[in-house]
Amino acid sequence: MSADLIELMSEAFADRVAEAASCVVSLGVSHWQRSGILWRPDLVVTSEQLLGERAEFTVSHGEATTVAKLAGRDPGTNVALLRLDTPLLGVLPESAPLPRVGSLALVMGADAAGAPTCRRAMLHAVGPAWHSQAGGRIDALLRLDVRLGADEGGPVLSPGGKLLGMSTAGPPRRTLVIPTATIERVLPALLADGHVARGWLGVGLQPVAVPDSMRTMVSCKSGMMVVSLADDAPAAHAGVLQGDILLDVDGTPARRARTLAAVLGPERIGQTVALRLLRAGELRTLNVLITARPVR
């Protein structure tokens, strides 16, 4: 690559960052500083896992400083919404198409004074929609090859300056992008109710192996043992007991909590699902009416 081409690419990246700088804010979170996206003049989107138990934050944006209060949070998608006391001026970039593995990305954030920061990244992995361990549906897997610091919660841009989504730190120390489509999907519920309603069974589960002598009868090798039951929860009302081994939910094998979360999305609230389980060596099926998970 020639020096002239490198210079042109460098200038192009700098231009994209300058164009998007107005949508980046700095958040004062306890003794730490993190970043957010000015989604609307009065609303900031950031990484939910950063906020702890606080409900009020200092927001810096260029030379302007204001206070933001928590408007809603969704641990399932790791999206939090803050409402600003004083609106700020900014332009949100238009949404980017789904990138390919190997595509470059610009990870933006803000320093403590609210000035924009940026680092270059590459799409290490791109995949289909997936469910987090907390039960949220993420519209695409977008994993970057960088580690985050104060820029967590800020915007991630395509090289052309379009918005891929919000950066967040995922396990184990991986950097993920929560896609723009996911943020747009959960924001109406956060604005209306402060949370995203999801279905639940109200059970604590532990993966276990099905005894060899019963595998032919139940047609599977593993399940999840019920180790705890929440009071007044759907599973308890349906007659589920501690020690039951859950085999599947409406035909979906019960092998991982994340798999079950996919079965118990918001659309299942008010519906009945069939639990196939093993109890004291006997195969049973219980019908459970799914209700909304209580708000923490």
SS3 68: strand
Q: What is the pLDDT of residue 214?
A: 87
The structure's pTM equals 0.86
Averages of pLDDT over each 10 residues, the chain, 296 residues: 77 90 90 92 96 91 93 95 96 96 96 91 96 89 95 96 96 91 97 92 91 86 93 92 93 83 85 93 93 83
Q: What is the pLDDT of residue 223?
A: 92
Long-range CB contact pairs, 1-4, < 8 A, 24+? none
Q: Yes or no: say if 177 and 166 are a contact pair by the CB < 8 Å rule.
A: yes
Q: Yes or no: say if 176 and 170 are a contact pair by the CB < 8 Å rule.
A: yes
Contacts of 158 (CB under 8 A, 6+ apart): 96, 99, 103, 104, 105, 106, 164
Please name the residue ranges forming H helices in the chain.
Answer: 3-20, 180-193, 215-218, 234-238, 257-263
Q: What is the dihedral of CA 89, 95, 101, 102, to 10 degrees?
A: -50
Backbone angles phi, psi at 16, to 5 degrees: -65, -40
Determine whether 119 is exposed, middle or buried from the number of CB atoms within 10 Å of its CB (0-12, 13-18, 19+): middle
Write the single-letter amino acid at 176: L
Q: Which secondary-structure segment (H or E) carries 225?
A: strand 222-229
CA distance 153 to 189: 20
In the chain, what is the straight-line distance between the N-terminal and C-terminal CA atoms, in Å? 54
CA distance 295 to 196: 9
Angle formed at CA 150 by CA 147 and CA 151, multiple of 5 degrees: 70
Q: Give the pairing type, strands 222-229 and 24-29.
A: unpaired
Q: What is the pLDDT of residue 30?
A: 67
User: Is the link from the previous residue into 172 a cis peptide, with omega within 30 of 0?
Assistant: yes
CA distance 156 to 42: 20
Q: What is the pLDDT of residue 296?
A: 67
